[in-house]
Protein backbone atom coordinates (compact mmCIF):
# COMPACT_ATOMS: atom_id res chain seq x y z
CA UNK A 1 0.00 0.00 0.00
CA UNK A 2 1.16 3.53 -0.69
CA UNK A 3 0.21 4.95 2.71
CA UNK A 4 -0.02 3.87 6.34
CA UNK A 5 -3.67 3.68 7.35
CA UNK A 6 -4.10 5.28 10.78
CA UNK A 7 -7.53 4.35 12.11
CA UNK A 8 -8.98 7.07 14.30
CA UNK A 9 -12.57 5.85 14.08
CA UNK A 10 -14.07 2.68 15.57
CA UNK A 11 -12.83 -0.57 14.07
CA UNK A 12 -15.58 -2.97 13.04
CA UNK A 13 -15.93 -6.39 14.63
CA UNK A 14 -17.30 -7.66 11.32
CA UNK A 15 -15.80 -6.54 8.03
CA UNK A 16 -17.52 -5.15 4.97
CA UNK A 17 -16.64 -7.28 1.94
CA UNK A 18 -16.71 -5.83 -1.56
CA UNK A 19 -18.63 -8.41 -3.61
CA UNK A 20 -16.51 -8.46 -6.78
CA UNK A 21 -13.01 -8.51 -5.27
CA UNK A 22 -13.78 -10.06 -1.86
CA UNK A 23 -11.56 -7.43 -0.25
CA UNK A 24 -12.44 -6.86 3.42
CA UNK A 25 -12.34 -3.50 5.17
CA UNK A 26 -12.66 -3.06 8.94
CA UNK A 27 -12.65 0.71 9.40
CA UNK A 28 -13.78 3.98 7.88
CA UNK A 29 -10.20 4.71 6.86
CA UNK A 30 -9.82 1.38 5.06
CA UNK A 31 -13.14 1.96 3.30
CA UNK A 32 -11.89 5.33 2.07
CA UNK A 33 -8.58 3.87 0.93
CA UNK A 34 -10.29 1.14 -1.06
CA UNK A 35 -12.73 3.56 -2.71
CA UNK A 36 -10.01 6.07 -3.58
CA UNK A 37 -7.81 3.48 -5.27
CA UNK A 38 -10.42 1.32 -7.02
CA UNK A 39 -12.88 3.61 -8.74
CA UNK A 40 -13.35 1.31 -11.74
CA UNK A 41 -14.29 -1.62 -9.50
CA UNK A 42 -16.99 0.20 -7.55
CA UNK A 43 -20.44 0.30 -9.11
CA UNK A 44 -23.44 2.06 -7.63
CA UNK A 45 -25.06 -1.22 -6.64
CA UNK A 46 -22.38 -1.63 -3.94
CA UNK A 47 -23.08 1.79 -2.41
CA UNK A 48 -26.37 0.63 -0.98
CA UNK A 49 -28.16 -0.68 2.11
CA UNK A 50 -25.65 -3.43 3.06
CA UNK A 51 -22.82 -0.88 3.16
CA UNK A 52 -24.98 1.73 4.91
CA UNK A 53 -25.99 -0.82 7.57
CA UNK A 54 -22.34 -1.72 8.13
CA UNK A 55 -21.32 1.94 8.42
CA UNK A 56 -24.05 2.58 11.00
CA UNK A 57 -23.92 -0.64 13.01
CA UNK A 58 -20.27 -1.66 12.84
CA UNK A 59 -18.51 1.73 12.59
CA UNK A 60 -21.06 3.67 14.62
CA UNK A 61 -21.16 6.42 11.98
CA UNK A 62 -24.92 6.86 12.09
CA UNK A 63 -24.89 10.36 10.58
CA UNK A 64 -22.91 9.16 7.56
CA UNK A 65 -25.19 6.19 7.02
CA UNK A 66 -28.28 8.40 7.22
CA UNK A 67 -26.79 10.96 4.82
CA UNK A 68 -25.95 8.27 2.27
CA UNK A 69 -29.45 6.79 2.48
CA UNK A 70 -31.01 10.20 1.87
CA UNK A 71 -28.70 10.87 -1.08
CA UNK A 72 -29.43 7.45 -2.58
CA UNK A 73 -33.17 8.06 -2.43
CA UNK A 74 -32.94 11.20 -4.56
CA UNK A 75 -33.54 10.78 -8.28
CA UNK A 76 -30.64 13.11 -9.01
CA UNK A 77 -28.06 11.15 -6.99
CA UNK A 78 -24.77 10.31 -8.66
CA UNK A 79 -22.10 7.70 -7.83
CA UNK A 80 -19.44 10.42 -7.63
CA UNK A 81 -21.53 12.30 -5.06
CA UNK A 82 -22.02 9.19 -2.94
CA UNK A 83 -18.34 8.28 -2.94
CA UNK A 84 -17.25 11.86 -2.31
CA UNK A 85 -19.61 12.03 0.67
CA UNK A 86 -17.85 9.03 2.18
CA UNK A 87 -14.38 10.41 1.52
CA UNK A 88 -15.14 13.84 2.99
CA UNK A 89 -17.01 12.71 6.12
CA UNK A 90 -13.71 12.66 7.99
CA UNK A 91 -10.42 14.24 6.91
CA UNK A 92 -8.59 11.08 5.87
CA UNK A 93 -7.90 12.59 2.43
CA UNK A 94 -6.92 16.22 1.88
CA UNK A 95 -9.07 18.63 -0.14
CA UNK A 96 -6.65 18.49 -3.14
CA UNK A 97 -6.75 14.68 -3.02
CA UNK A 98 -10.54 14.65 -3.00
CA UNK A 99 -10.61 17.09 -5.90
CA UNK A 100 -8.26 14.79 -7.84
CA UNK A 101 -10.55 11.86 -7.04
CA UNK A 102 -13.52 13.74 -8.49
CA UNK A 103 -11.50 14.58 -11.59
CA UNK A 104 -10.62 10.91 -12.04
CA UNK A 105 -14.26 9.91 -11.66
CA UNK A 106 -15.29 12.43 -14.33
CA UNK A 107 -12.52 11.24 -16.65
CA UNK A 108 -13.69 7.67 -16.20
CA UNK A 109 -17.15 8.65 -17.42
CA UNK A 110 -15.57 9.77 -20.69
CA UNK A 111 -13.76 6.51 -21.35
CA UNK A 112 -14.81 4.26 -24.19
CA UNK A 113 -16.21 0.86 -23.20
CA UNK A 114 -12.94 -0.96 -24.06
CA UNK A 115 -10.93 1.55 -22.02
CA UNK A 116 -13.27 1.22 -19.04
CA UNK A 117 -13.30 -2.58 -19.21
CA UNK A 118 -9.49 -2.63 -19.32
CA UNK A 119 -9.43 -0.41 -16.25
CA UNK A 120 -11.65 -2.92 -14.47
CA UNK A 121 -9.54 -5.87 -15.63
CA UNK A 122 -6.39 -4.14 -14.40
CA UNK A 123 -8.08 -3.72 -11.02
CA UNK A 124 -8.90 -7.41 -10.80
CA UNK A 125 -5.32 -8.19 -11.79
CA UNK A 126 -4.04 -6.12 -8.84
CA UNK A 127 -6.15 -8.24 -6.51
CA UNK A 128 -4.93 -11.52 -8.03
CA UNK A 129 -8.28 -12.31 -9.66
CA UNK A 130 -6.45 -13.71 -12.66
CA UNK A 131 -9.34 -15.60 -14.25
CA UNK A 132 -11.63 -12.56 -14.08
CA UNK A 133 -8.95 -10.29 -15.47
CA UNK A 134 -8.08 -12.63 -18.35
CA UNK A 135 -11.76 -13.06 -19.22
CA UNK A 136 -12.24 -9.29 -19.51
CA UNK A 137 -9.11 -8.88 -21.62
CA UNK A 138 -10.46 -11.60 -23.93
CA UNK A 139 -13.83 -9.86 -24.03
CA UNK A 140 -12.22 -6.60 -25.14
CA UNK A 141 -10.21 -8.33 -27.86
CA UNK A 142 -13.17 -10.40 -29.09
CA UNK A 143 -15.65 -7.53 -29.16
CA UNK A 144 -13.30 -5.02 -30.75
CA UNK A 145 -11.50 -6.84 -33.59
CA UNK A 146 -10.92 -3.61 -35.51
CA UNK A 147 -9.43 -1.66 -32.61
CA UNK A 148 -6.49 0.12 -34.22
CA UNK A 149 -4.61 1.36 -31.16
CA UNK A 150 -1.25 -0.36 -30.83
CA UNK A 151 -0.32 1.04 -27.41
CA UNK A 152 -3.72 0.16 -25.94
CA UNK A 153 -3.76 -3.31 -27.46
CA UNK A 154 -0.18 -3.89 -26.37
CA UNK A 155 -1.10 -3.05 -22.79
CA UNK A 156 -4.03 -5.49 -22.95
CA UNK A 157 -1.86 -8.32 -24.29
CA UNK A 158 0.85 -7.61 -21.71
CA UNK A 159 -1.55 -7.67 -18.77
CA UNK A 160 -3.39 -10.68 -20.16
CA UNK A 161 -0.03 -12.45 -20.25
CA UNK A 162 0.50 -11.63 -16.56
CA UNK A 163 -2.87 -13.17 -15.71
CA UNK A 164 -2.18 -16.27 -17.80
CA UNK A 165 1.30 -16.73 -16.35
CA UNK A 166 0.01 -16.62 -12.78
CA UNK A 167 -2.57 -19.22 -13.79
CA UNK A 168 0.25 -21.43 -15.15
CA UNK A 169 -0.86 -21.12 -18.77
CA UNK A 170 2.75 -20.47 -19.68
CA UNK A 171 2.78 -21.07 -23.43
CA UNK A 172 -0.25 -18.83 -23.95
CA UNK A 173 1.26 -16.18 -21.68
CA UNK A 174 4.51 -16.19 -23.68
CA UNK A 175 2.54 -15.66 -26.89
CA UNK A 176 0.75 -12.67 -25.37
CA UNK A 177 3.97 -11.10 -24.11
CA UNK A 178 5.44 -11.46 -27.59
CA UNK A 179 2.31 -9.98 -29.17
CA UNK A 180 2.53 -7.04 -26.76
CA UNK A 181 6.15 -6.47 -27.71
CA UNK A 182 5.36 -6.61 -31.43
CA UNK A 183 2.74 -3.90 -30.91
CA UNK A 184 4.65 -1.56 -28.60
CA UNK A 185 8.35 -2.51 -28.67
CA UNK A 186 8.42 -1.98 -24.91
CA UNK A 187 11.31 -3.67 -23.16
CA UNK A 188 9.20 -4.84 -20.24
CA UNK A 189 7.18 -7.12 -22.54
CA UNK A 190 10.17 -8.75 -24.21
CA UNK A 191 11.83 -9.13 -20.81
CA UNK A 192 8.80 -10.97 -19.41
CA UNK A 193 8.62 -13.07 -22.57
CA UNK A 194 12.25 -14.15 -22.25
CA UNK A 195 11.88 -14.69 -18.51
CA UNK A 196 8.96 -17.02 -19.11
CA UNK A 197 10.74 -18.84 -21.92
CA UNK A 198 13.76 -19.27 -19.64
CA UNK A 199 11.63 -21.43 -17.34
CA UNK A 200 10.87 -23.78 -20.24
CA UNK A 201 13.96 -23.66 -22.49
CA UNK A 202 17.73 -23.91 -22.24
CA UNK A 203 19.95 -20.93 -21.52
CA UNK A 204 21.47 -21.32 -24.98
CA UNK A 205 18.02 -20.86 -26.52
CA UNK A 206 17.41 -17.75 -24.43
CA UNK A 207 20.72 -16.25 -25.48
CA UNK A 208 19.82 -16.82 -29.13
CA UNK A 209 16.41 -15.20 -28.64
CA UNK A 210 17.94 -12.27 -26.74
CA UNK A 211 20.38 -11.70 -29.58
CA UNK A 212 17.56 -11.86 -32.14
CA UNK A 213 15.63 -9.15 -30.27
CA UNK A 214 18.80 -7.12 -29.56
CA UNK A 215 18.41 -7.39 -25.78
CA UNK A 216 21.48 -9.40 -24.86
CA UNK A 217 21.86 -7.22 -21.76
CA UNK A 218 18.74 -8.84 -20.28
CA UNK A 219 20.08 -12.39 -20.04
CA UNK A 220 22.03 -12.03 -16.80
CA UNK A 221 19.16 -10.14 -15.15
CA UNK A 222 16.72 -12.86 -16.20
CA UNK A 223 18.72 -15.66 -14.61
CA UNK A 224 19.33 -13.61 -11.47
CA UNK A 225 15.55 -13.16 -11.23
CA UNK A 226 14.98 -16.90 -11.65
CA UNK A 227 17.51 -17.66 -8.92
CA UNK A 228 15.78 -15.23 -6.56
CA UNK A 229 12.38 -16.73 -7.40
CA UNK A 230 13.62 -20.24 -6.68
CA UNK A 231 14.87 -19.10 -3.28
CA UNK A 232 11.46 -17.55 -2.54
CA UNK A 233 9.67 -20.75 -3.55
CA UNK A 234 11.88 -22.92 -1.35
CA UNK A 235 10.99 -20.71 1.59
CA UNK A 236 7.24 -20.89 0.98
CA UNK A 237 4.91 -22.93 3.27
CA UNK A 238 3.57 -24.97 0.33
CA UNK A 239 7.09 -25.99 -0.72
CA UNK A 240 7.97 -26.98 2.85
CA UNK A 241 4.82 -29.12 3.08
CA UNK A 242 5.68 -30.83 -0.20
CA UNK A 243 9.26 -31.37 0.95
CA UNK A 244 8.03 -33.08 4.12
CA UNK A 245 5.55 -35.12 2.09
CA UNK A 246 8.33 -36.34 -0.21
CA UNK A 247 10.41 -37.31 2.82
CA UNK A 248 7.61 -39.65 3.94
CA UNK A 249 7.22 -40.95 0.39
CA UNK A 250 10.89 -41.86 0.24
CA UNK A 251 10.50 -43.66 3.57
CA UNK A 252 7.54 -45.55 2.07
CA UNK A 253 5.24 -44.01 4.68
CA UNK A 254 2.38 -43.51 2.25
CA UNK A 255 -0.23 -42.69 4.90
CA UNK A 256 1.62 -39.56 6.05
CA UNK A 257 2.58 -38.76 2.46
CA UNK A 258 -1.05 -38.79 1.35
CA UNK A 259 -2.17 -36.68 4.33
CA UNK A 260 0.46 -34.02 3.65
CA UNK A 261 -0.24 -33.96 -0.08
CA UNK A 262 -3.95 -33.60 0.66
CA UNK A 263 -3.23 -30.41 2.64
CA UNK A 264 -1.09 -29.05 -0.21
CA UNK A 265 -3.80 -29.86 -2.76
CA UNK A 266 -6.48 -28.28 -0.57
CA UNK A 267 -4.43 -25.08 -0.20
CA UNK A 268 -3.92 -24.82 -3.96
CA UNK A 269 -7.63 -25.43 -4.57
CA UNK A 270 -8.55 -22.66 -2.12
CA UNK A 271 -6.23 -20.21 -3.88
CA UNK A 272 -7.75 -21.15 -7.24
CA UNK A 273 -11.32 -20.77 -5.95
CA UNK A 274 -10.52 -17.27 -4.69
CA UNK A 275 -9.92 -16.23 -8.31
CA UNK A 276 -13.35 -17.37 -9.44
CA UNK A 277 -15.49 -15.85 -6.66
**pLDDT surpassing 80 at residue 233:** no
Give me the mean pLDDT over the 236-244 stretch: 63
pLDDT tens digits, one per residue of 93-137: 999 999 999 999 999 999 999 999 999 999 999 999 999 999 999
| Model pLDDT, residue 2 | 45
| Model pLDDT, residue 242 | 62
**pLDDT surpassing 70 at residue 194:** yes
Give me the mean pLDDT over the 21-40 stretch: 95
Give me the mean pLDDT over the 27-38 stretch: 96
Model confidence at 3, in pLDDT bands (50, 70, 90)? very low
Model confidence at 4, in pLDDT bands (50, 70, 90)? very low
Over pLDDT 70: what percentage of the chain?
A: 83
**pLDDT surpassing 60 at residue 275:** no
Model confidence at 230, in pLDDT bands (50, 70, 90)? confident
Distance of CA 30 to the CA centre of its chain: 17
Give me the mean pLDDT over the 73-100 stretch: 92
Averaged pLDDT score across all residues of the chain? 88
Model confidence at 241, in pLDDT bands (50, 70, 90)? low
pLDDT tens digits, one per residue of 50-71: 999 999 999 999 999 999 999 9
| Model pLDDT, residue 1 | 41
**pLDDT surpassing 80 at residue 13:** yes
Over pLDDT 90: what percentage of the chain?
A: 72
**pLDDT surpassing 80 at residue 5:** no
Q: 220-241: b or e for each residue (b if 16 or more CB lie within 10 Å)?
A: eebeeeeeeeeeeeeeeeeeee
| Model pLDDT, residue 77 | 82
Give me the mean pLDDT over the 177-196 stretch: 97
Amino acid sequence: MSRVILCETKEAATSYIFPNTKIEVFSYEELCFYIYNNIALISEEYIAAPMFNWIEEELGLVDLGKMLREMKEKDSHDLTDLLTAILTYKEYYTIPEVKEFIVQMERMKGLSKPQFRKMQADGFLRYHKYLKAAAIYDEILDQNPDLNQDAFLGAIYHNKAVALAYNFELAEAAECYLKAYELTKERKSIYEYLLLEATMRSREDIEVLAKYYHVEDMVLTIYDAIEDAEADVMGSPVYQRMKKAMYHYEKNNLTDFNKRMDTVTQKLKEEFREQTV
